[in-house]
Amino acid sequence: MKKGQTCLLHVLFLVFLTGAAINLPAQSMARVHEKAIVVDTHNDCLTGLVLEGKDLATRLNTGHSDLYRWKKGGLDLQFFSVWTDKMPRNKEGFFQDALQEIDSLHRIILRNPDRMTTGDSFREIKRRAHKDKLVSLIGVEGGHMIENDLAKLDSLYALGMKYLTLTWNNSTDWASSAMDETLHPERLKQKGLTPFGKQVVERLNELGVMVDLSHVGEQTFYDAIAVSKKPVILSHSSVWSICPVFRNVKDDQIRAVANNGGVICINFYSGFISREYDQVQKTLLLEKEKFMLSLAGVPVPDSLYSMKKWEYKYDSIMNATRPSLEQLVDHIDYIVKLVGDRYVGIGSDYDGVGSVPVGLEDVTTYPKITEELIHRGYSNKSIKRILGGNVLRVMKANFSR
Ligand SMILES: [Zn+2]
């Protein structure tokens, strides 16, 4: 063999090796992701359907989610959050708001029978979860939607509610929220669960609806976990020790969830993932207040122009402060190191948050989490648990059928 031929073969061999080195992890990532039942326990896009008439069946240029992108992200099961603000949007009240959001989900499922489905019993859901259609389930985000009435809770259950978040940011008459317990204690009528609040938890257990403790205050958290006979879920919360904000959970809470057999699903919001993001945001918002005050007396067109410039500056600083995908996986890692790999999952809060980590821009990006977990040396078994297996275990323990 001539020297030139040897060189060429050598180069070809190196190209082959390099190609293999690049492709192999990608292939194994795709295989692991494909084999797992991938579950996201919190997405807020229904509000966009109701208020803005969004159609998830089309490829949307805005927001985080649509049917095309879910498929690309390899998602098998999505919990859709039924949400309304602390003031009702319909004159009939919060319960009517919930019905409107539930209707919007049912409609989109009916219109897209080839791409979406739902399920009732655990067995049915599990069977459908690894096929080609997105299994779409309902989580009601905020106890205010039952309007202090167990009959309304029963109705929401009959319409498909699979979890109830006891509070959103607003406390109910029977449960205090994390926001009120920590930031606005003056708003509280009571701290924790009232006797009626305990009845709500018992009723959820009886019906086979998961008790969701995201958004609730620490007192409500411990009261509910003491009453619940079933494993609880935190549908979209991250780790307080990494990012100490009112919506994240402390180490003792993580241990309590593990003792209860429940699951904490990590929220992707930049301000819950990165302490730096949270602090920069708080500083800028204070600056904004001062800036607004300085505009008093300035003619309206000039002040509007100044505000726009300020907003632009704010957006560019906050965008540059977004955490990395690795920082998000640090939250998963933290829980695994503290209590093991059976108590953590994914609860993105897509379409409910204004900023997400770099690399996790929308629902197409779930495989990047899988890739990072492989990179960190997680076993396939652990990854399957984190991507959805843990949530499925909690669903099975709760659902009555
Ligand atoms: Zn929320």
- The per-residue pLDDT for range 138-170, each reduced to its tens digit, is 999 999 999 999 999 999 999 999 999 999 999
Q: Average of pLDDT values for 362-386?
A: 97
Averaged pLDDT score across all residues of the chain: 92
Token code pair at residue 127: 């069977």
As a whole number of angstroms, the distance between CA 161 and CA 195 comes to: 23
280 Cα–ligand 1 center, Å: 21
Question: What spacing in Å lies between the alpha carbon of 141 and ligand 1's midpoint?
Answer: 7
pLDDT of the residue at 359: 97
Look-up: residue for tokens 């795709």?
30
Gap from CA of 47 to ligand 1 centroid (Å): 12
**Ligand 1 centroid vs 82 CA: distance in angstroms?**
10
Asked if 355 and 57 touch (Cβ cutoff 8 Å), the reply is no
Q: Distance between alpha carbon 71 and the CA centroid of its chain, in Å?
A: 18
Q: How far is the CA of 215 from the centre of ligand 1 (A)?
A: 7
CA distance 251 to 121: 33
Instruction: Give Cα separations from 158 to 5, 99, 104, 250, 307 (angstroms).
Output: 74, 12, 16, 34, 48
Per the structure block, which two tokens stand in for 332?
A: 């998963």
260 versus 131: the higher-pLDDT residue is: 260
More confident residue, 313 or 224: 224
Residues in contact with 187: Cβ distance below 8 Å, sequence separation at least 6, in sequence order: 171, 180
- DSSP class of 216: B
Question: Is it the case that residue 341 has pLDDT exceeding 60?
Answer: yes
pLDDT over 50 at 204, yes or no: yes
Decide: helix, strand or coil at residue 25: helix
pLDDT on residue 1: 42
Give the burial string for 92-123 (b: 16+ CB within 10 Å, else e): eebbebbbbbbebbeebbeebeebbbbbeebe
pLDDT for res 15: 41
Gap from CA of 349 to ligand 1 centroid (Å): 7
CA 43 to ligand 1 centroid distance, Å: 9
Give distance in angstroms: CA of 385 to centre of ligand 1: 23
Give pLDDT tens digits for 40-49: 999 999 998 8
- Using CA atoms, how far apart are residues 347 and 242, in angstroms rounded to an integer? 17
Q: Please, are residues 363 and 53 in contact by the beta-carbon 8 Å criterion? A: no
Residues 311-340: tens digit of each pLDDT: 899 999 999 999 999 999 999 999 999 999
Question: 43 has which bridge partners?
Answer: 80, 350
Q: Count of CB atoms within 10 A of residue 155's CB? A: 15
Distance 102 CA to ligand 1 centre (A): 17
What number is the average pLDDT over the span 182-186?
95
User: What's the 384 CA to ligand 1 centre distance in angstroms?
Assistant: 25
Read off the pLDDT of residues 87-128 as tens digits, 9 standing for 90 and up: 999 999 999 999 999 999 999 999 999 999 999 999 999 999
- Give 275 or 4, the one with higher predicted confidence: 275
Average pLDDT estimate for 240-246: 98
Q: Which residue has the higher pLDDT, 214 or 27?
A: 214
Give the distance (Å) from ligand 1 centre to CA of residue 70. 20
pLDDT band per the 50, 70, 90 thresholds, residue 21: very low
Six-digit token string for 283: 């500083």
The pLDDT confidence band at residue 26, using thresholds 50, 70 and 90, is: low
Section 21-30 average pLDDT: 63
Specify the higher pLDDT residue, 53 or 345.
345
Terminal Cα-to-Cα distance of the chain (whole angstroms): 71
250-308: pLDDT as tens digits: 999 999 999 999 999 999 999 999 999 999 999 999 998 888 888 888 888 888 888 88
Strand intervals (E) in 219-292: 233-234, 263-266
Quote the ligand 1 centre to 27 CA distance (angstroms). Answer: 35
Gap from CA of 303 to ligand 1 centroid (Å): 33
